[in-house]
């Protein structure tokens, strides 16, 4: 059975104190409910990683992720944060290839591939994001776009490394817009992604790879999205900044 995963990407939100309050609220509520096999991940700012790792150790059911990493191992790269530095905070995961990084920081598939390789080499679990734009979907290019993003960034990995990757499908037109993919659109693309993985790495690895949905996921639509056989959880932005909302999403994942 694949892992069910609910990940909160806090993006560039919350001061340290706001983050601690939100984190504590989420962990208190998490302790009150039956999780039944859901892995909860929170991705705060780099600056706060160490703090949240120590809070998570008290709670022990939340895993901490960075939102990005450098493609360089170390050296004179002012302002960059290497996978090794992330790992040294105790964080275990890193989001790579988010569409906001691709769009605002010109991240290419090649750069993303380097980040994936380095994060795996360092022992971090990459959460690899892919997604098409509204125009690409309207031109029926969405499958091709996803195929290219995945094959360029991930398909040079040997099977022993590929099986460490978590994939997140985040259609760009759904991120922060309030317009989520329909459950049918999500299932169709997740199934397609799993078939690409199967063609490359075989049934066993494809069946074990978690594929998360992201893009305006909230407590109103999460149930219908998570009911799909190929949707293994969510990468949640806005709705993860509200403890009650995020817990409802986690509950709906546990129930499906
Ligand atoms: P929203 O849930 O705010 O649409 O963001 C999704 C996302 O980008 C998560 O990485």
Q: What is the pLDDT of residues 182-206, one digit of tens each?
A: 999 999 999 999 999 999 999 999 9
Is 35 exposed, middle or buried (CB count within 10 Å of its CB: 0-12, 13-18, 19+)?
Answer: middle
Closest atom, ligand 1, to C-alpha of 217: 2
What is the arithmetic mean of pLDDT over 155-172? 98
Residue 68 Cα to ligand 1 middle (Å):
15
**Which residue among 98, 107, 113, 142 is the active-site one?**
98
Which range is least confidently modeled, 51-60, 103-112, 140-149, 164-173? 51-60
Q: How remote is the CA of residue 76 from the centroid of ligand 1, in Å?
A: 32
Beta carbons of 80 and 118 less than 8 angstroms apart? no
How far apart CA 156 and CA 200 sit, in angstroms, is 10
Q: Which of 144, 155, 77 is nearest to 112 (CA)?
A: 155
The single residue listed with the structure tokens 């009911």 is 227
Per-residue model confidence (pLDDT) at position 58? 86
Compute the distance from residue 62 Cα to the ligand 1 centre, in Å: 19
Closest Cα to atom 1, ligand 1: which residue? 237
- 3-state class of 4 per DSSP? strand
Nearest CA to ligand 1 atom 9: 237
Q: What is the pLDDT of residues 80-129, one digit of tens each?
A: 999 999 999 999 999 999 999 999 999 999 999 999 999 999 999 999 99
Lining ligand 1 with CB less than 6 A are 9, 98, 170, 175-176, 214-217, 235-239
Answer yes or no: are the C-beta atoms of 131 and 170 closer than 8 Å.
yes
Does residue 137 have a pLDDT over 80?
Answer: yes
The token duo for 120 is 């795996």
Atom of ligand 1 nearest to the CA of 100: 8
Answer for the pair 73, 84: CB distance below 8 angstroms, yes or no: yes
Report the atom number in ligand 1 closest to the C-alpha of 168: 10
Q: Which residue has the tokens 């594929």?
A: 211
Distance from residue 218's CA to the centre of ligand 1 (Å)? 10
For residue 249, report the distance from its CA to the centre of ligand 1, in Å.
Answer: 13
| 1 CB-contact burial (10 Å; exposed 0-12 / middle 13-18 / buried 19+) | exposed
Told to judge if 170 belongs to the known catalytic residues of this protein, a careful annotator would answer: yes
> Tokens for 234?
């969510």
User: pLDDT at residue 56 above 70?
Assistant: yes
Of 10, 216, 221, 245, best ligand 1 pocket probe by most atoms within 8 Å of the beta carbon: 216
Q: Spell out where 2-154 has E strands.
A: 4-9, 38-43, 62-66, 93-96, 125-130
Residue 59's pLDDT is 73
For 44-68, what is the mean pLDDT? 94
Task: Give alpha helix (H) positions in 7-106.
Answer: 16-32, 49-59, 83-88, 99-104
Q: Are strands 4-9 and 38-43 parallel, antiparallel or unpaired?
A: parallel
pLDDT (average), residues 161-176: 98
Is 204 known to be catalytic?
A: no
pLDDT score, position 192: 98
Residue 35 pLDDT more than 90?
no
**Average confidence score pLDDT of the chain:** 96
Q: How confident is the model at residue 13 (pLDDT cuts 50, 70, 90)?
A: very high
Check if the beta carbon of residue 5 is closer than 8 Å to that of residue 212. yes
% of the chain with per-residue pLDDT over 70 = 99
**Atom 2 of ligand 1, residue of closest alpha carbon:** 237
Q: Which of 100, 113, 170, 245 is catalytic?
A: 170
- What's the pLDDT at 34? 65
User: How confident is the model at residue 61, as a pLDDT?
Assistant: 81
Residue 1: predicted pLDDT: 72
User: 242: pLDDT confidence band, cut at 50, 70 and 90?
Assistant: very high
């Amino acid at each position: 059975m694949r892992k069910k995963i609910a990940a909160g990407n806090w993006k560039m939100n919350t001061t340290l104190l706001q983050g601690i309050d939100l984190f504590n609220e989420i962990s208190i509520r998490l302790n009150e409910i039956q999780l039944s096999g859901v892995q909860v991940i929170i991705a705060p700012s780099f600056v706060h990683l160490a703090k949240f790792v120590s809070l998570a150790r008290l709670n022990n059911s939340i895993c901490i992720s960075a939102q990005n990493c450098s493609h360089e191992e170390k050296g004179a790269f002012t302002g960059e944060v290497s996978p090794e530095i992330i790992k040294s905070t105790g964080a275990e995961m890193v989001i790579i290839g988010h569409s906001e990084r691709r769009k605002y920081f010109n991240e290419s598939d090649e750069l993303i591939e380097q980040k994936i390789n380095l994060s795996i080499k360092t022992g971090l679990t990459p959460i690899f994001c892919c997604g098409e734009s509204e125009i690409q979907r309207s031109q029926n290019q969405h499958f091709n776009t996803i195929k290219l993003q995945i094959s360029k960034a991930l398909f040079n990995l040997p099977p022993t490394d590929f099986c460490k990757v978590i994939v997140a499908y985040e259609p760009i037109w759904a991120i922060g817009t309030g317009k989520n993919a329909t459950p049918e659109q999500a299932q169709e693309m997740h199934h397609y992604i799993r078939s690409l993985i199967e063609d490359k790495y075989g049934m066993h690895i494809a069946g074990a790879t978690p594929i998360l949905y992201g893009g305006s996921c909230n407590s109103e639509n999460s149930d219908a999205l998570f009911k799909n056989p190929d949707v293994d959880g969510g990468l949640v932005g806005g709705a993860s900044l509200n403890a009650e909302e995020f817990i409802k999403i986690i509950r709906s994942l546990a129930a499906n």
